[in-house]
Chains A and B, each alone.
Chain A
Amino acid sequence: MSLADPEIRDLKAAATSHRGDRVFNRIITVAAFTALAVLAGIAVFLGLQTIPAFQSQGLSFITTTAWDINTDPPTAGIWGMLYGSVLLAVIGLVIAIPASLLLSIFTVFLAPRKLAAGLTNLIDLMAAIPSVILGLWAFYILNPTAEEWQRLLNQYLGWIPIFQNASGNFLGTPFIAGFVLAIMMIPIITSVSREVLARTPPELINASESLGSSLWTMLRYVALPYGRGGIVGGIMLGLGRALGETIAVFFVLKIVFEVNWYQIIESGGGSVATLIVSRFGEVSGEFELSLLLAAGFFLFVLTLVVNVIANLIVARTGRLQK
């Protein structure tokens, strides 16, 4: 067997040997890397702004909670805001995950076809509602209702720590902000989980039906395990959106510079994104601006990590499902 290896010819190069094609390819390739350039740009430009923040505050910029810029020396720490962002997102998820899952189960497995199509359109439209409009609605329509509900929660379930409220003020609470975030997340999570549930192969549904499954056992043992990855990915995408949401939260959350650990119906909480917008309007100078930019950098990192994980999960599920 002394046959010489045939010379491997680079067909790829041959395919694009035309000069016009090479120019075209180069232009397209450069454009395709814009996304990377923007991400890198954000990381570098905002990342640089963390230098003054750390120089003046040290690590306490991200481990403490304070915002006294005009004192000497000024103190600033965004821990309460970072924690608050996560707390709001968790409240939102607690509402949005069951609602979205049940909604997509209803759309895919229970609703008649026409109703399902109508629901799909409505939920997609819901995803398109700008956050400033949700903020406006929440401020005037949701707030009074939510205030009443929280008062009742506190009255009857106040012995549970998370429903404590010492101030008697039931507006600007993490619960209301989390609820608004849930409304923003529901269409995102629903559209993803609806897709993956609808993609449950009919032969698997047939198989489980022929084995005498009920709706519950079919969901529990066939559809949900099959779509699990996609659903988790959808939840992470919703989470990414919730962490970065600014305007809707701005109208319903009272930003306080102390950590509200768990009292979700107590007035006052934190959110990095909202901090940025609420301080930006009355920013006292270049130093405070760079603090806000540094806060933005951490928000960027937080959402980037969540989104990358979400997309990896969704991509992996997509491959497994093929």
Chain B
Amino acid sequence: MTTTFDPSALPQLQQQRIERPWRRKPPIFTWSVVLATLIPLAIVGWIYWSTDIPGAIVMTVIYLPLQLIASGVAAFATRGRRGILDSVIIVNAIGATLFTLIVLLSVIGSLIARGITAISAHFIYQNNVYVSPSTPLEYGGIGHAILGTVIIVGISMLIAVPIGVATAIYITEVRGRAVPYVRFFVQAMAGVPSVVAGLFILTIIVATGAFQQGAFAGGLAYAILMLPTVARTAEEVLKLVPEDLRTGALALGSTRARTVLRVVLPAARTGIITAIILGVARVIGETAPLLLAAGSADATVVNPFGGPIAAIPTYIFNNVALPYPDAVARAWASALVLIVLVSILFVLARVIGRGRLSSK
């Protein structure tokens, strides 16, 4: 027996075409949309080029109302009275989206355009010791600031990650009586302004004198900001661990502690890593706590207790408003480095987070 092509099956298959009849719009619909788009643009273009009214005014005072009216008329023509409000929402929603995208594009675009000029190999690894604001871009770099950020963030991770994960474990695994309160405090802590976190560490320095401004103090301030993010994200991912795993382990005679440490946490490993990444992303660009707690420096500092230390955000802060083009260029370049770091963390968190979901 060989399979033969059966021609009689063909016409039956082709009998009906897949259709989406609701996408066929009556001509008046198409024309309304085309006219409602073109007419306001034409009028505005004519006004812009034939008069000397500033473009900003033309766009807001003339184009926006004109577009709203045109869309409203078009909507009325196609869908009657109730189409008008819909068109107002749609025009405004598209407008708000474009506005936000333009702002985002402007921020990212200006960072790349202005930051790229000062980027070079030595900018990434050299420090700032022999650099004054007027030193040309051939010299110096932010290697010390990158290292400082790494040290400070590292310290804050050492503190905030274990405590944050433990807090999440308390909420999802230990399930003590105080769970609602603990969650409440964690949420309240998430709202602490970064400058207040810095002030708090500063008061401890002033009051106790146990340590001074520097990487350790900066790391403590960062940890205050990082902890709630880690705790809340870790709580979410621990909740995703199937209950069967826990009961299964307990049924095998495992203690609760061992169940959490050997079964639940490994099962949620990628999720915990996401939580840590989000925590790092939350703090890495924070400036105010470092201004107060870590200070700033031009030289490379490695010792967490070795006095004021540089970091990327504070470096940017110190160079932004200086009246020297090269200093400003350095600020833009450091901002570019910082946003690249943030983006890497962001993408990492997304990729790992997606892996977690798809493996379910």
Contact = CB atoms under 8 A, between A and B. Distances in A.
B128 to A, nearest CB: 17
Given A214-B86, A244-B195, A308-B188, A28 B106 contact: no
B285 A133 contact: yes
B319 to A, nearest CB: 9
A276 B195 contact: yes
A296 B189 contact: no
Nearest to A240: B191
Nearest to B79: A214
Nearest to A130: B285
Contacts of B224: 38
B222 interface: no
Interface residues of B, number: 94
Interface string B323-360: 00000100110010011001101100010000000000
**Main SS at interface, chain A:** helix
Contacts of B268: none
B321 A251 contact: yes
B256 A16 contact: yes
B85 A125 contact: no
Main secondary structure of the interface of B (DSSP, over half): helix
A100 to B, nearest CB: 8
A123 B256 contact: no
Interface stretch (A72-80, A160-168, A198-206, A298-306): A298-306
B93 to A, nearest CB: 4
Given A35-B167, A132-B313, A300 B56 contact: no
B1 interface: no
Contacts of B346: 124-125, 128
Contact of B178 (A15, A32, A128, A130): A32
A172 B107 CA distance: 19
Give the top 8 A-B pairs by smallest Cβ distance, nearest first: A130-B285, A244-B193, A307-B191, A31-B166, A24-B257, A32-B170, A102-B96, A216-B85
Interface of B: 54, 56-57, 79, 82-83, 85-86, 88-90, 92-97, 99-101, 103-104, 106-107, 110-111, 114, 162-163, 166-167, 169-171, 173-174, 176, 178, 181-182, 184-197, 199-200, 202-204, 206-207, 224, 227-228, 231, 255-258, 260, 281, 284-288, 291-292, 313, 316-317, 320-321, 328, 331-332, 335, 338-339, 342-343, 345-346, 350
18 contacts: A24-B257, A38-B189, A39-B188, A45-B200, A103-B100, A130-B287, A137-B107, A156-B57, A183-B103, A219-B89, A244-B195, A251-B321, A277-B195, A281-B291, A289-B206, A306-B191, A307-B187, A311-B188
